[in-house]
Amino acid sequence: QVQLVETGGGLVQAGGSLRLSCAASRNAFSISTMGWYRQAPGKQRELVASITGGRTNYADSVKGRFTISRNNAVNTILQMNNLMPEDTALYYCRAVSWGTGYWGQGTQVTVSS
């Protein structure tokens, strides 16, 4: 089983930056894919970015603004630049380990105009 804890959310003005971190505990070395998702009020949860080995994938809405990286087996970072009000959401990290997905508890990102 994998446990995930997200940190780094907060309130920022449009055009600003935030750095989200997801720390994995228990069997972190078994994780094959890490992803960041977000869910805005009244909307479905959507994939923002994912990383598998050295390959990254981004939603069209964040390409060129967000960067996902995994600097070791434990920590996955989502660097968010040029934030826009439509980026406001609850952000979750998700890990896939041996074909099973695990979710963190989420961290709120609010972008004011």
pLDDT per position as a tens digit, 17-67:
999 999 998 778 889 999 999 999 999 999 999 999 889 999 999 999 999
Q: Residues 66-91: pLDDT tens digits? A: 999 998 888 999 999 999 999 999 99
Percent of the chain beyond pLDDT 70? 100
Question: What Rg, from alpha-carbon coordinates, does the chain have?
Answer: 13
pLDDT (0 to 100) of residue 100: 94
pLDDT (0 to 100) of residue 104: 96
Q: If you ran DSSP here, which 8-state letter would residue 84 be given? A: -
User: Under a CB-based contact definition with an 8 Å cutoff, are residues 32 and 89 in contact?
Assistant: no
Mean per-residue pLDDT for 98-113? Answer: 96
**How many C-beta neighbours within 10 Å does residue 77 have?**
18
